[in-house]
Structure formats: C-alpha cells, structure tokens
C-alpha cells in the first residue's frame, strides 16, 4: 500500500484541498468542455485562460482579489470576442486571435510592472502556470459556489445550446436566438475557465476543458453520455495526477517533485490516444473508422477542419 500512497498523502492539507478543488474543476470543465469541443471553440476556450491570466496579473498589480481579476478578464474577453464576431465560423479564429493578442500585450505590461514595482519573485511563474498545491484555503468556498452557479447555468441553456450547436439553421427555425445562446455559452466558458485557471493553473485549465471531452466524444455520440464519460475521465486523471505528483518527489534524485500539471496532462493525452484505438471505440459501441462524418458538429466547422477528410487524400 505504501508503494502507491506515500506516507502522509491523506493527512496533508494541501493534498486534500487539491483533491477537492481538482475534482470540482474537472467536473465543471468536462460539462462545459463537451460543448466547447462540439462547437469547435477549443481555441476560444484556451485563449480565455490566457486572457483570464491577464486579468489576474492586472488584479495582482492593482491589489485586487486575483479571483475577481481572473473571472473579470475572462468575461471581458468573451464579450470582446463576441463583439468582433466569434459567432460566425469564418471569423471566429481571427476574432479570438485579435483579442488574445491584445490581452497578451497587456499581460506583458502588467507582469513587467509587477516585477519592477514589487520584489515578489515567483509572480510570473505563479500567475502563468499556477499550482494546485498552493491554493489558498479561503478561496475554496468561492470556487465551489461559482462552479455550482456555472453548472446550473449550463443546465438551463442546455437544450437550446445543444440544438444550436448541432444545427444552427434548425435552431433559428425553432426560435432559438443564436446570438444570445452563443453569448450565454461564451460567458459560461469564461467563468469556468477563469475559475479553473486561478484554482489549478492555465495549463490544466485547457487540458481539463478539452482533453476529457475530446476523448469522450471519440467513444460516444450522445452528448449526455459524453458528458458523463468526460466527468469520469477528468476526475480520474486529476486525482491520479495528484497522487503521482505527490509520489514523484522520491523518483527524482534532486528530491524536487515533478509538477502535478505535467502528470495530469500526460494522463489526459494518453486517454485521448487510447480512445482513438479502433478496438476501444468498437468496445464502446462506436464504429472504428470514418470519425469525421459521425462527429456531431456538422454545419459548424471551419473549412480548415474539413480539409483533412477530403477525398483526394493521397
């Protein structure tokens, strides 16, 4: 038993906080992530982590609560993307890119001011990479409450959002306001990403948003089932990653353990690769070949997405 669980694993306060927060972030990310992947908005999902980070570094410089900065930055970024045209597939990439570029510039300024105005070393790395083991205990209740609010919001917009994601035309006929539902989803995405980047760092935020959802959508076609599978995968990789990171201090000669984000991301990546193996897909009742036409994101894809599936492929 001690081989798997190092002595003191369960008694450690930071580990317990990490297990709780990691689990909560994994569930919220998976629920929002399934729609992010289906709607082909992974870039926006990732960009919002960087934009939230800008908000976080701005709050750090101005002396606000970083959590407010992270979420405020994400929400403002999502609004700006919507304004430029994230709802149209063709201009989505550029809209996201422009907002991300501007936010990155601001982040450069804030981090520069942070490091010149105060002597806090470690600020850059802390803000950019975050760490699940250094979560402030006092932010835990806020993170949990906001996560519940995001989940309730997703439950409310679930049906129209699903319809709009799968067939925007049909949604319009049915009277779903596409722009409104798109914006509502972007806001949910911004809040969930802001929460997870402050709690578990920006790398893990994207990893848990996209990885489990993309893997789940490779083994099941139903959104409901995919959400459940993604939640399970997200929680499993997060907790296993925390365990491995805790143990890893003994593996490396320096005694300096490897970061938890490294393990979680590697596990996530492996789960994505494994779910692509034809035998696994058959086991889950989904035909192994031709993934492109079966994916439930038909009219909503950019041409660049479709290109690899073109028939002239040599």
Partner 1 sequence: MFSGFMVNAWAVGTMVAVVAGVVGFFVVLRGSAFPAHAIPNGAFAGAAGASLIGINPLIGLGVFSLGAALGIGWLGRRGRADAVTALMLVLMLALGAAFLSQSTQYEPEIYSLLFGEILGVSTTELLPVLILGGVCVAAVGILFRRLLVTSIVPEIAAARGLRIHRTEVAFLVVVAAATTMTVPVVGALLIFTLMIGPPAAARCLTDRPGRALGASVAVALTTVWASIACSFESNWPVGFFVGVFSATAYGLGRAYAAWHLSRVGRPAPAVA
Using CA atoms, how far apart are residues 227 and 220, in angstroms rounded to an integer? 10
Smaller CB distance to partner 1: residue 44 or 171? 44
Using CA atoms, how far apart are residues 236 and 226, in angstroms rounded to an integer? 15
Please report how close the Cβ of residue 262 comes to partner 1 at its closest, in angstroms.
Answer: 4
Cα Rg, the chain, nearest whole Å: 20
Smaller CB distance to partner 1: residue 175 or 314? 314
Residue 258 tokens read as 């490897």
33 touches 209 (CB < 8 A): yes
**What is the three-class DSSP state of 304?**
helix
Please report how close the Cβ of residue 311 comes to partner 1 at its closest, in angstroms.
Answer: 6
Residue 297 tokens read as 């994101």
| Unique residue bearing structure tokens 């410089």 | 61
Please report how close the Cβ of residue 237 comes to partner 1 at its closest, in angstroms.
Answer: 12
Smaller CB distance to partner 1: residue 109 or 225? 109
Residue 99 tokens read as 């907002």
Please report how close the Cβ of residue 175 comes to partner 1 at its closest, in angstroms.
Answer: 28
Please report how close the Cβ of residue 251 comes to partner 1 at its closest, in angstroms.
Answer: 11
Residues 6+ apart with CB under 8 A from 297: 38, 39, 40, 165, 166
Please report how close the Cβ of residue 53 comes to partner 1 at its closest, in angstroms.
Answer: 11
Using CA atoms, how far apart are residues 297 and 311, in angstroms rounded to an integer? 19
Residues 6+ apart with CB under 8 A from 102: none
Smaller CB distance to partner 1: residue 1 or 119? 119
Smaller CB distance to partner 1: residue 90 or 174? 90
Please report how close the Cβ of residue 153 comes to partner 1 at its closest, in angstroms.
Answer: 23
By C-alpha distance, which of 39, 34, 23 is closest to 196?
A: 23
Q: List strand residue ranges (DSSP E) for 5-159, in order.
A: none
Please report how close the Cβ of residue 272 comes to partner 1 at its closest, in angstroms.
Answer: 6
Residue 159 tokens read as 């049906």
Using CA atoms, how far apart are residues 118 and 282, in angstroms rounded to an integer? 57
Smaller CB distance to partner 1: residue 72 or 130? 130
List the Cα angle 42/47/49 in 5-degree steps. 105
197 touches 70 (CB < 8 A): yes
Smaller CB distance to partner 1: residue 85 or 140? 85
Classify residue 304 as exposed, middle or buried by CB count within 10 Å of its CB (0-12, 13-18, 19+).
exposed
Smaller CB distance to partner 1: residue 101 or 180? 101
């Amino acid at each position: 038993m001690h081989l798997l669980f190092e002595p003191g694993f369960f008694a450690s306060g930071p580990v317990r906080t990490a297990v709780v927060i990691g689990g909560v972030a994994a569930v919220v990310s998976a629920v929002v992530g399934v729609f992010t992947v289906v709607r082909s908005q992974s870039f926006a999902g990732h960009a919002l982590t960087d934009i939230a980070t800008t908000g976080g570094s701005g709050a750090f410089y101005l002396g606000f609560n970083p959590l407010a900065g992270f979420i405020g930055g994400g929400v403002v970024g999502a609004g700006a993307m919507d304004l430029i045209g994230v709802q149209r597939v063709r201009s989505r990439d550029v809209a996201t890119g422009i907002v991300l570029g501007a936010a990155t510039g601001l982040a450069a300024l804030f981090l520069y001011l942070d490091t010149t105005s105060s002597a806090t070393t470690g600020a850059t790395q802390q803000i950019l990479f975050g760490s699940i083991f250094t979560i402030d205990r006092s932010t835990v209740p806020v993170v949990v409450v906001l996560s519940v609010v995001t989940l309730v919001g997703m439950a409310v917009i679930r049906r129209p959002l699903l319809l709009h994601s799968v067939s925007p035309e049909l949604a319009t006929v049915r009277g779903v306001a596409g722009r409104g539902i798109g914006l509502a989803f972007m806001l949910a995405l911004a809040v969930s990403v802001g929460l997870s980047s402050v709690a578990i760092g920006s790398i893990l935020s994207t990893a848990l948003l996209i990885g489990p959802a993309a893997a789940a959508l490779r083994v099941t076609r139903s959104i409901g089932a995919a959400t459940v599978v993604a939640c399970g995968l997200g929680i499993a990789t997060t907790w296993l990653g925390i365990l491995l990171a805790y143990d890893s201090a003994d593996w490396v000669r320096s005694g300096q353990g490897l970061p938890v984000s490294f393990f979680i991301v590697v596990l996530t990546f492996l789960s994505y690769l494994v779910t692509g193996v034809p035998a696994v897909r058959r086991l889950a009742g989904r035909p192994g070949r031709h993934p492109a036409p079966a994916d439930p994101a038909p009219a909503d894809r950019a041409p660049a997405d479709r290109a690899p599936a073109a028939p002239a492929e040599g």
